[in-house]
């Protein structure tokens, strides 16, 4: 994927020079290793700021809502599915977008690399299947790329963009032999009390910074329910009940919409895997309605349609 950078710059430059778009959304190098940041380019000469590597885990669909200009956006598989969701939910118009598809081979889990590495990381590079970590004391380490992928990327079955106007590279092979719901099933097998304790422990470190919400492309409400004060749905403090309510409700708001892009978990400063909540909803949607969010523009979402044969065993 490292080789995409030249092509990314080239496409961005061309689109701006030909005035096909007013702005390009991509990634530039962050100030720290493994922390690429979103980058908004308006002039063709700035296109060289763009990069593409295994640290572009942020979901760029997040930056498309509430904009009027014509935008080109670089989209991985998950980003493209969130763009489809945005279009279905009328948050962006298809004709205002130029979607540049980026076939993805997974993003690097920055926490995993940092925890496996002793010493200070100076830079992280990669080649076809290795991640090369350079340390500040001059040493260097190599990891197999597949071993340090983000949890969601390792289990991803939609690496290729589902909607695009042009592609940065040839489509990649999709993974087929993955068990996507192993961790959810493990929780489902616990009893009620174990599950309650599990989530209590999982969410206990949360500091209510709302980074997960802000990183999520689905969370575009002008006023989030946690910020609302009339009525105040939720306490503002560090009460564990409020923390859990926030995470549970946020997950519910993503039901049938979440693409498991992993932006929430990536953004979390304390490393909470809140994907365990959204993944359960994703699994239920898939098992009950054969629905996967953002795969096509032609179908209404699972929670937006009614069929007489919908599963309804829970209604008495």
Q: Based on CB atoms, which residue is closest to other proteins, 2 or 241?
A: 241
290-293 long-range Cβ contacts below 8 angstroms, 24+ apart: 291/256, 292/158, 293/81, 293/85, 293/256, 293/257, 293/258, 293/259
**Residue from 277, 285, 293, 302 that binds other proteins (CB under 8 A)?**
277
Please give the Cα distance from 244 to 240 (Å, whole number). Answer: 6
3-state secondary structure (DSSP) of residue 125: strand
Q: Based on CB atoms, which residue is closest to other proteins, 220 or 248?
A: 248
Would you count residue 306 as binding other proteins (CB under 8 A)? no
CB of 280 to other proteins, least distance (A): 5
Of 308, 306, 281, nearest to 292 by C-alpha is 281
**Residue from 63, 96, 175, 198 that binds other proteins (CB under 8 A)?**
198
Per DSSP, what are the bridge partners of residue 202?
none
Of 253, 259, 173, nearest to 220 by C-alpha is 253
Please give the Cα distance from 5 to 17 (Å, whole number). Answer: 18
3-state secondary structure (DSSP) of residue 134: strand
Would you count residue 244 as binding other proteins (CB under 8 A)? yes
Instruction: Determine contact, residues 94/80, Cβ cutoff 8 Å.
Output: no
Q: Based on CB atoms, which residue is closest to other proteins, 63 or 286?
A: 286
CB of 246 to other proteins, least distance (A): 13
Using the rule CB under 8 A, give the single segment among 116-124, 174-182, 189-197, 258-266 that binds other proteins.
189-197
Q: How many residues bind other proteins (CB under 8 A)?
A: 23
Instruction: Determine contact, residues 293/257, Cβ cutoff 8 Å.
Output: yes
Both ends of the chain: CA-CA distance in Å?
52
Q: Based on CB atoms, which residue is closest to other proteins, 3 or 288?
A: 288
Would you count residue 290 as binding other proteins (CB under 8 A)? no
Using the rule CB under 8 A, give the single segment among 7-15, 47-55, 126-134, 188-196 that binds other proteins.
188-196
Would you count residue 315 as binding other proteins (CB under 8 A)? yes
Give me 52's structure tokens.
């593409």
Q: Based on CB atoms, which residue is closest to other proteins, 3 or 190?
A: 190
- Site residues (vs other proteins, CB under 8 A): 187-188, 192-200, 235, 239, 241-242, 244-245, 248, 277, 280, 314-316
């Amino acid at each position: 994927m490292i080789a995409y950078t030249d092509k990314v710059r080239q496409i961005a430059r061309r689109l701006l020079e030909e005035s096909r778009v007013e702005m390009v959304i991509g990634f530039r190098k962050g100030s720290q290793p493994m922390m690429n940041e979103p980058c908004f380019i308006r002039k063709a000469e700035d296109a060289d700021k763009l990069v593409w590597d295994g640290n572009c885990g942020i979901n760029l669909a997040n930056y498309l809502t509430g904009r009027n200009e014509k935008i080109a956006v670089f989209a991985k598989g998950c980003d493209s599915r969130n763009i489809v969701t945005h279009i279905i939910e009328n948050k962006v118009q298809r004709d205002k977008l130029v979607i540049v598809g980026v076939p993805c081979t997974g993003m690097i889990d920055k926490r995993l690399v940092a925890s496996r590495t002793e010493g200070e990381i100076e830079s992280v590079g990669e080649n076809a299947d290795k991640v090369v970590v350079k340390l500040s004391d001059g040493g260097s380490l190599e990891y197999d790329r597949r071993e340090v992928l983000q949890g969601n990327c390792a289990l991803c079955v939609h690496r290729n963009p589902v909607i695009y106007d042009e592609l940065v590279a040839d489509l990649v092979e999709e993974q087929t032999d993955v068990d996507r719901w192993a961790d959810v099933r493990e929780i489902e097998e616990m009893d009620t009390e174990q599950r309650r304790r599990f989530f209590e422990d999982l969410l206990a470190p949360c500091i209510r910074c709302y980074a997960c919400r802000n990183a999520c492309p689905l969370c575009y409400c002008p006023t989030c329910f946690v910020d609302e004060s009339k009525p105040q749905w939720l306490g503002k403090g560090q009460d564990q009940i409020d923390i859990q309510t926030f995470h549970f409700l946020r997950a519910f708001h993503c039901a049938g919409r979440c693409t498991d892009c992993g932006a929430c978990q990536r953004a979390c400063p304390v490393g909470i895997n809140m994907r365990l909540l959204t993944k359960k909803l994703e699994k239920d949607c898939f098992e009950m309605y054969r629905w996967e969010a953002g795969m096509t523009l032609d179908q209404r979402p699972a929670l937006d349609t009614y069929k007489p044969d919908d599963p309804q065993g829970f209604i008495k």
